Amino acid sequence: MINEKPMQLAKRMSYLGIGRVRIGAVLVNGKNVFSGFNKSNKTHPLCSTNSYRRLHAEISCCVGRDRSTLEGGTMYVYREDREGRIAISKPCPNCQEYLRVVGIKRCYYTDPRIIGNVGMINL
């Protein structure tokens, strides 16, 4: 089970997403807590150079924030399918690179293949 509050918030954010997949992201950095979700109807310059046409939740979470509020932060990404089952939300290579560049250090993501349903990557 995922008990951490940021992951619960990411879950709630995922319901705001547009499109077939529900993905929510939350960034925690000290007293700063930011959230985002998948926005398939929007495009972003960062996403237009590849096949990912939608603004991914991870990036949606960071866009427009002051760099100093992102650096050193921890991201939580939640995903579920249409039936409400937890799905793999490991950030795509593009998002991983983006998170690394803006200084995010760690990312927890849902993964039903892992005991506890949460995986982690150090960026």
Q: State which residue, 2 or 46, has the beta carbon closest to Zn ion.
A: 46
Q: Give CA–CA dist 123/119, Å, rounded.
A: 13
Q: State which residue, 88 or 92, has the beta carbon closest to Zn ion.
A: 92
Length, in residues, of the chain: 123
Q: State which residue, 25 or 118, has the beta carbon closest to Zn ion.
A: 25
Give contact residues for Zn ion (rule: CB under 5 A): 56, 92, 95
Instruction: For residue 106, give the amino acid letter.
Output: R
Q: How far is the CB of 85 from Zn ion (least distance, A)?
A: 20
Q: How far is the CB of 1 from Zn ion (least distance, A)?
A: 25
CB-nearest residue to Zn ion: 95
In what order do the strands lie in the sheet containing 32-37? 32-37, 22-29, 74-80, 106-110, 118-122
Closest-CA residue to 96 (of 69, 65, 120, 68): 120
Q: How far is the CB of 109 from Zn ion (least distance, A)?
A: 11
